[in-house]
Structure 1
Amino acid sequence: MSQTANLRIAAIALTALLSACSALKDSDEGNTGFFQCKSPRPEMCTREYRPVCGHIDTRIESKVRCVTEPCPSGKHQTFGNSCSACANPAVMGYEEGSCESYGK
C-alpha cells in the first residue's frame, strides 16, 4: 500500500473518531432547558468544564426523611459537566450553566 493510501485511511479513521466523540453529548442537543439523565448512568467522566445545574432529589440523596417539619424534595447543585452530574444517582437531570446563573 502506498504512503498516500495510508494517510487517507488514517485521516478517515481520525475523522470517524472525532465525530464519535461529539456524538456522546445528549441527543437533546440544540434544546435549551431541562435535560433528564439517561440510563445507564455514567461510571467515568472527562474533566471537561462545562458547568451544569443539577436537580437533586433529596429523597434519594439522604436515607433519612424528616417527619416533624416539611422537607424540600429537591435542591440544586452546580456540577463541572453533565456527565459528572448524571453519575450521581440522586440527580434527576440538569440545566446547562451554573445554578447561580439561574438564581438557584
Structure 2
Amino acid sequence: MGKYPGSTLLIVFTVLISAGATIAAEETIADTSATQCVEPRPQMCTMDYRPVCATMGDGIEKTFANGCSACSDEEAKSWVEGDCE
C-alpha cells in the first residue's frame, strides 16, 4: 500500500457509490405510476388474477394475469394495474 492507504479506499468507495447512482438513474421511468421490473426476475408466481398492462422492451403493451407474471417475462420493462386497452 502507499503512503495514504485511507485515500485509496476513499477513491474506491466514491467510484462504487457513483456506479450505483448511475444504475439507479437508468432504472427511473417516465410514468411514475408504473412499477418497474427489476432483476432478478421472478421464477414462480401465484395464480391470482389481478390483470396488469405491461410495457414490453419494444414499446408494445401486453396484458398479464398479475405483476409477478408480467415481470417474469424478460421482455417486460414495467407494468400498471388493469388490462391493456
Q: Shared fold (TM-score greater than 0.5)?
A: yes
Pick the TM interval, shorter chain: 0.5 to 0.7
Aligned length: 54
After superposition, give the CA deviation of every residue in 1:13-66 in whole Å (9 maximum; x if it has no partner).
xxxxxxxxxxxxxxxxxxx721101211000111000000000013xxxxxxxx
1:8-87 matched pairs, under 5 angstroms: 33-58=33-58, 74-87=59-72
Give the partner amino acid of 2:71: C
Q: Which runs of 5+ in 1 are unaligned?
A: 1-31, 59-73
Moved over 6 A (4+): none
* Cα separation, 1, equivalents of 2:80 and 2:66: 10
Aligned twin of 2:81: 96
Relative contact order (C-alpha < 8 Å, sep 6+): which is higher?
1
After superposition, give the CA deviation of every residue in 1:42-95 in whole Å (9 maximum; x if it has no partner).
00111000000000013xxxxxxxxxxxxxxx1000000000000000000101
* Cα separation, 1, equivalents of 2:62 and 2:80: 11
Q: How high is the TM-score relative to the length of structure 1?
A: 0.49
Q: Which runs of 5+ in 2 are unaligned?
A: 1-31
**SS of equivalent to 1:99:** coil
CA RMSD of aligned residues (A): 1.2
Q: Is the 8 A contact 1:45 1:84 kept in 2?
A: yes
* Cα separation, 1, equivalents of 2:62 and 2:76: 9
* Cα separation, 2, equivalents of 1:97 and 1:39: 23
| Sequence identity percentage | 48
Q: How high is the TM-score relative to the length of structure 2?
A: 0.60
* Cα separation, 2, equivalents of 1:33 and 1:48: 21
